[in-house]
Amino acid sequence: MAWQFAAKLSDVLAARPWLALTVGATRLVIGVVEGGWFGVEDRCTHAGCAFSQDGQLAGSTLICDCHGSEFDVRSGAVLRGPAERALRTLPLRVAADHLEVDV
């Protein structure tokens, strides 16, 4: 894994609740929850639906609108099924005026 440019901070902050992007071959959504940055792979572990198209964020809970699975974006943990596997979370760090992601 290696740190790579993800997005300008201003772009992430303007794109509420998250910014969907692709870094390398990884599709992810990134945003701010409770003052901290989060990054998760942009697909539900249940049926592969893209959160950027069929999802919503309620506090720190990412809800997949396809089948109702819920995840904690901070840890990736499943909060409610039918999903059984946690989300892949991706570490983010601030570097000057942009975010970098470790993919």
Please state, in angstroms and rounded to a whole number, the distance separating the CA atoms of residues 12 and 9. Answer: 5
The domain defined by 3-102 carries CATH number 3.30.70.100: no
The pTM score is 0.92
Are 90 and 101 contacting, i.e. CB atoms less than 8 angstroms apart?
yes
Are 40 and 74 contacting, i.e. CB atoms less than 8 angstroms apart?
no
Report pLDDT digits (tens) over 55-80: 999 999 999 999 999 999 999 999 99
Report pLDDT digits (tens) over 11-46: 998 988 899 999 999 999 999 998 899 999 999 999
Domain ranges of the chain: 3-102
Q: In sequence order, what are the residues at sequence separation of 6 or more whose Cβ sits closer than 8 angstroms to the Cβ of residue 49? A: 43, 55, 64, 65, 66, 67
